[in-house]
Structure 1
């Protein structure tokens, strides 16, 4: 406004009419400038803060899921945009925390499970996602969070070998008189305790908040028939295929590639794998990563990945792009999703340490 005042004061040789007209034009110009500044202030957050970087780094768990992700999403993205992607693996919560707290953040996307997501948010280790830049196609609402992008689903359910009497529920799994044979369960309370409650008759919508005492009482009934508490997903499939056990808790992605094995989604435990952005990641690289995440909402691309690893993405439309024999066999297929219990990461964040300690004490006391 100082420049405006000087212009008016220096204009002392004009007529009053001219001076009035000049001042009117100046006021109009000033108002227009202020208006434009206000619009720019409003619009700016929806725009990229800089040009996207020509490369960014992804931290993932490696293995078959990594290979499928590269082929279905990341490689076509690079071919289309020229943005290169580098990979580091394996990942862990500890690595993420150390990277952020050291102020040396090199990755712009990091995969994370539901159990550690809430902890990462509470410790301020993550950046909020720019959903305007992601510009997603329709996705399941639970996969869209302020700090996390739900990349894929997986299920932990009941499995057995073909020729074994099928079971329909966790009460069947617990019923060794009607369905005889050894069992295997995962060595992890997040999966086993909800299943134990369902085996005791608790409906899906009443599992959380978890009645831990009741869950352990239910677990006591089946424990004498559990021959293996597995720690690797491949163990479950191998135990079933080799007739070491009759029924096993297992991941759908380990069972479905084996034609001799069966998997039941009824009362399965449905979980989500997430993409997050570490706090302090380079802004231009984060922008490039947000653009890549858009591709993770395209149902046709998700179907390509699911055909390889059987872990479907976040699109409600994905199933229609699958081969006919797979349409009804994914965790998110219309006839499967609502029959499962969705993981409650918040409850486990708030109670997980105490439950984990009790879990270890229970195992040692057997």
Structure 2
């Protein structure tokens, strides 16, 4: 796991939360927890805000790995070869994992999550961040900015990249085509694909979040739809880019425990640690995703708060992804999406 130097904020957060893990092993490496996420700058931020402070405060061996997703969780559980304990799951994946019975119930006698809205304290997961997919552009190519309508205008020549997922992309395309946020669902899938098809020959491809950040930083694209946090990190790394909130699609990420997890008890203790305000605020300092714990907002610089998906002025310009709709329709839409991508 990548070593990250602790800053003053992180050291204070770690000390403030150490009392919350009383009862964990005090001897180094006395217990273990394996956490699956997505890699890249997001997982680096998770490591700095969650993994390393928890390991330091508890003496538990924390192993961060990549590849989290519905298909892999399903394969693990069905094969009986579960090697992950905690997973980070986006709303659509979470709903599918719940539907398939792939998760352990959250033990709320261990996980103290009173600062998190009730609708995000679910039976099988705790919502811990709000993030968004945003339109971004190279400021050299588009000094006056870029609108969602222009992103899908074939007359606006640009090397574009989009996410390798049907969700987010379809919502973004439909809003760019004039569909109001309140009228998005049920999604008109064929209309959304037709909008994307206008500029498909200018797409570098449908890529992962980490690939999108790399493309932005390396100057391989001129416009992108990607996660606000990764876009922000690319800009901080020197990319002369900007991103906006028009047409943004906001989603919730959950901590969950895989059914049959080999270290389920330790997994609950880790989740308890990770949903506390100090740790959530530290994640936001590392990467600008919005905390769900209302007490974490008070720990943030107001200037940082204004960059978050949950900031009211930003939230008004986009839509919250309807994970329940995707739970009911993902399989069908994914088949159509995969067919379209390969055409």
The TM-score range, normalised by the shorter chain, is 0.7 to 0.9
- Matching residue of 2:34: 58
- Matching residue of 2:19: none
Q: Within 5 Å, give how 1:30-109 maps onto structure 2.
A: 55-61=31-37, 62-80=39-57, 82-92=58-68, 93-103=70-80, 105=82, 107-109=84-86
Is 1:360 equivalent to 2:338 in the alignment?
yes
What secondary structure sits across from 1:66 in the alignment? helix
Distance 1:159 1:143 in 2: 29
Cα 1:219–1:78, aligned 2, differ >3 Å: closer, same or farther? closer
Cα 1:189–1:281, aligned 2, differ >3 Å: closer, same or farther? closer
Q: Which string of whole-angstrom CA distances, capped at 9 and with x for unpartnered residues, describes residues 252-282 of structure 1?
A: 1222121421111232111222221122336
Distance 1:63 1:234 in 2: 6
Is 1:154 equivalent to 2:134 in the alignment?
no
Cα 1:206–1:70, aligned 2, differ >3 Å: closer, same or farther? same
**Aligned partner (choices 231, 253, 267) of residue 273 of structure 1:** 253
Cα 1:132–1:166, aligned 2, differ >3 Å: closer, same or farther? farther
What secondary structure sits across from 1:277 in the alignment? strand
8 Å CA contact 2:52–2:62 kept in 1: the answer is no
Cα 1:55–1:230, aligned 2, differ >3 Å: closer, same or farther? same
Identify unmatched segments of 5+ residues in structure 2: 1-22
What secondary structure sits across from 1:190 in the alignment? coil
What secondary structure sits across from 2:116 in the alignment? coil
Distance 1:359 1:130 in 2: 37
Tell me the TM-score normalized by structure 1: 0.72
Q: Within 5 Å, give how 1:212-361 maps onto structure 2.
A: 212-224=189-201, 226-237=202-213, 239-240=215-216, 245-257=221-233, 258-259=235-236, 260-281=240-261, 285-323=263-301, 325-361=303-339
> What displacement does 1:295 show?
2.7
Moved more, 320-329 or 154-163: 320-329
Distance 1:252 1:127 in 2: 30
Corresponding pairs, count? 310
- Matching residue of 1:121: 98
Q: Which string of whole-angstrom CA distances, capped at 9 and with x for unpartnered residues, describes residues 70-110 of structure 1?
A: 33234434444x35133152234444334433445454322
What secondary structure sits across from 1:322 in the alignment? coil
Q: Within 5 Å, give how 1:155-170 maps onto structure 2.
A: 155-163=132-140, 164-167=142-145, 169-170=147-148
What secondary structure sits across from 1:321 in the alignment? coil
Tell me the TM-score normalized by structure 2: 0.77
8 Å CA contact 1:158–1:263 kept in 2: the answer is yes
Distance 1:239 1:98 in 2: 31
> What displacement does 1:239 show?
4.7
Is 1:196 equivalent to 2:173 in the alignment?
yes
What secondary structure sits across from 1:335 in the alignment? helix
> What displacement does 1:159 show?
0.4
Max radius of gyration: which structure?
1
Is 1:131 equivalent to 2:108 in the alignment?
yes
